[in-house]
Amino acid sequence: MSLQETLEAALETYAVLAIPGLTILRGPASTPDVEGNGRALVVRMVRASATRLDFSQTEWRDTFALTFFWSRAGYTRSQAIDDWEAFRLVMDTAEGLTLGNPGITLERAWLSSMAWGEAVDGHFRTLVATVEMDRVE
């Protein structure tokens, strides 16, 4: 498993811990790809940047786009908001974790932006969030 896949899997794990029954979709997905799922999440790495530190270490900042989908037929707006708040609280504890390799530690993770979408004639409520992760390896 690549480091990118490990980081994406960590975010997916946080989401499933916060929102039981959440469907995880791999790769790029749009609303038609989500049809048939009550709640779904797509995680994609957007970019990574690095700064060289002393003692042969590198500090990395990885940026991920998370897209949550809630079926309007199965979930009310308040349920979607409750799910989001649960995920946000789990993300608050996502610091100092070892990411599958003793030499790589997640220093900080935070939600840097979010936007809700709810089309009048759409079948899904969507939330797009950006998560930043700082890690040292």
- What are the pLDDT digits (tens) for 73-113? 888 899 999 999 999 888 777 655 555 555 667 777 778 88
End-to-end CA distance of the chain: 17
| One-letter amino acid for residue 68 of the chain | F
d(CA 101, CA 107): 14
Q: What is the pTM of this model?
A: 0.82
Ramachandran assignment for 39, one of left (phi > 0), alpha (psi -120 to 50 degrees), beta (any other): beta
Which residue range(s) make up the domain with 22? 3-136
d(CA 14, CA 9): 9
pLDDT for res 32: 67
- C-beta of residue 8 within 8 angstroms of C-beta of residue 45: yes
Q: Determine how β-strand 124-136 pairs with β-strand 39-52.
A: unpaired
Find the CATH number of the domain harbouring 60.
3.30.2000.10
Angle at 48 between CA 136 and CA 108, to 5 degrees: 45
Of residues 7 and 67, more confidence is placed in 67
- What are the pLDDT digits (tens) for 16-74? 989 988 999 887 776 666 777 789 999 999 999 999 888 788 888 999 999 999 988 88
Give the total number of structural domains in the chain.
Answer: 1
Between the CA atoms of 83, 16, 114 and 122, what dihedral angle is there, to the nearest 10 degrees?
Answer: -70
